[in-house]
């Protein structure tokens, strides 16, 4: 067995993995399809070297496999950004053979566009947070269907929508035809179920984060509640993995995208490459800070005086707040 380090590229699929092993000079030692098993992949790679530097593109299940290879077999594994890898390839053709070879070669020369491999506890917290987000989206859709049934019959109801009195009117008094009434009953039952499941998910989130120091410090921030804190904790993970607050803001999608050309200098809205739920939570936080924080209210008033729209101000407040948070939180991991 050679003690020289080898570079390994893994093209992941649920049922199999294409593994390519390169030596230090870039020569292909093997490139073939193997069972989706960390033990089998380790057996193949160990035929060619003891020191293994591997890369695998981000996809469902890839992080779990990478974690197994690191913890069980001592590999050094980096997750690769699939979008940037595709740009580097500069070819319309796609094969598992070529993809695994490219990942191995990028690892060998140190040009791999890396993505952070979150530890198991953070990945599990993400599952809970995203499950709650899924329930909230389903609740929103159910509410839209309820309002649509009422609009079809030109019914408005008393007072504000979704209050107890309004829901009681919808359930018992709204003049709906027979079939619409049956559909409305199903939708209201579904809404009650979703409300219950959202509360259960939030209770579980509270339980699993009780001893989390980073989460508790996030809760101490102004206008930050449970949902905002757990979303930041799950999606950002470690604040010290970013070099600066500016880099963190780009990760969260709060940085303006430059659209300059020649003498024209312009912005084109916020950058799109980010987690939309994370950005949404932060912009909602910016709205709350504008409304309830003296410091941020003054800043937003200055921007309004310069003619800036409210949506832009909310994003700008969230951007500045997140940069400030970065400097407060990065030492928490030490």
What are 90-130's pLDDT values in tens digits? 778 889 999 999 999 999 999 999 988 899 999 999 999 99
Q: Are residues 49 and 130 in the same domain?
A: no
Element containing residue 7 per DSSP (H, E): strand 6-12
Domain carrying residue 155: 120-208
Q: Are residues 92 and 140 in the same domain?
A: no
Q: Are residues 197 and 96 in the same domain?
A: no
Instruction: Determine, yes or no, domain membership for 312.
Output: yes
Q: Are residues 185 and 289 in the same domain?
A: no
Q: Are residues 75 and 29 in the same domain?
A: yes
Instruction: Determine, yes or no, domain membership for 1.
Output: no
| pLDDT tens digits along 236-286 | 999 999 999 999 999 999 888 776 667 666 676 788 878 899 999 999 999
pLDDT over 90 (residue 70)? yes
Instruction: Determine, yes or no, domain membership for 297.
Output: yes
Q: Are residues 110 and 136 in the same domain?
A: no
Instruction: Determine, yes or no, domain membership for 276.
Output: yes
Q: Are residues 327 and 243 in the same domain?
A: yes
Instruction: Determine, yes or no, domain membership for 324.
Output: yes
Distance from C-alpha of 123 to C-alpha of 173, rounded to nearest angstrom:
46
| Range 300-325 average pLDDT | 92
Looking at residue 3, its pLDDT comes to 67
Q: Are residues 176 and 229 in the same domain?
A: no
State the number of CA atoms in the 13 A half-sphere of 161 facing the CB: 9
Pick from 108, 112, 102: nearest CA to 53: 108
Q: Are residues 136 and 198 in the same domain?
A: yes
Distance from C-alpha of 252 to C-alpha of 301, rounded to nearest angstrom:
24
Point out the domain boundary residue: 208, 232, 249. 208
Point out the domain boundary residue: 164, 191, 208. 208
Q: Residue 139 has which token pair?
A: 């609740």
Looking at residue 257, its pLDDT comes to 77
Distance from C-alpha of 108 to C-alpha of 5, rounded to nearest angstrom:
10
pLDDT over 60 (residue 2)? no
The proportion of the chain whose per-residue pLDDT surpasses 90, expressed as a percent, equals 77
| Range 56-77 average pLDDT | 93
pLDDT over 90 (residue 224)? yes
Distance from C-alpha of 215 to C-alpha of 225, rounded to nearest angstrom:
10
State the number of CA atoms in the 13 A half-sphere of 215 facing the CB: 20
Looking at residue 256, its pLDDT comes to 82
| pLDDT tens digits along 176-185 | 999 999 999 9
Into how many domains does the chain fold?
Answer: 3
Point out the domain boundary residue: 155, 176, 208. 208
Instruction: Determine, yes or no, domain membership for 150.
Output: yes
260 three-state secondary structure: coil
Looking at residue 1, its pLDDT comes to 46
What CATH number is attached to the domain comprising 41?
A: 3.30.420.140
Instruction: Determine, yes or no, domain membership for 81.
Output: yes
């Amino acid at each position: 067995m050679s003690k020289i380090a080898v570079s390994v590229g893994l093209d992941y699929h649920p049922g199999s993995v294409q593994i390519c092993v390169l030596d230090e000079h870039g020569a292909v030692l093997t490139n073939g399809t193997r069972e989706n098993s960390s033990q089998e992949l380790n057996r193949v790679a160990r035929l060619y070297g003891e020191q293994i530097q591997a890369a695998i593109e981000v996809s469902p299940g890839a992080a779990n496999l990478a974690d197994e290879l690191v913890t069980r077999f001592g590999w050094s594994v980096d997750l690769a950004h699939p979008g940037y890898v595709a740009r580097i390839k500069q070819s319309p053709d796609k094969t598992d053979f070529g993809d695994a070879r490219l990942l191995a070669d990028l690892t060998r020369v140190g040009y791999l566009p890396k993505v952070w491999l979150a530890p198991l506890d953070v990945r599990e917290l993400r599952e809970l947070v995203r499950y709650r987000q899924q329930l909230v989206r389903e609740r929103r859709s159910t509410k839209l269907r309820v309002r649509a049934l009422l609009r079809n019959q030109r019914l408005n109801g008393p007072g504000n929508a979704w209050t107890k009195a309004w829901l009681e009117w919808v359930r018992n008094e709204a003049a709906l035809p027979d079939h619409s009434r049956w559909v409305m009953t199903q939708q209201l039952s579904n809404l009650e179920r979703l409300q219950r499941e959202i509360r259960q998910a939030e209770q579980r989130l509270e339980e699993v984060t009780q001893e989390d120091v980073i989460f508790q410090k996030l809760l101490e921030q102004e206008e930050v509640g449970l949902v905002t804190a757990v979303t930041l904790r799950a999606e950002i993970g470690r604040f010290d993995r970013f070099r600066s607050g500016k880099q963190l803001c780009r990760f969260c999608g709060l940085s303006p995208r430059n659209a300059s050309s020649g003498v024209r200098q312009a912005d084109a809205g916020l950058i799109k490459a980010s987690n939309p739920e994370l950005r949404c939570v932060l912009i909602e936080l910016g709205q709350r800070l504008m409304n309830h924080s003296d410091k941020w209210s003054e800043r937003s008033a200055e921007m309004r005086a310069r003619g800036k729209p409210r949506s832009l101000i909310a994003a700008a407040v969230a951007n500045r707040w997140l940069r400030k948070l970065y400097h407060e939180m990065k030492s928490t991991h030490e």
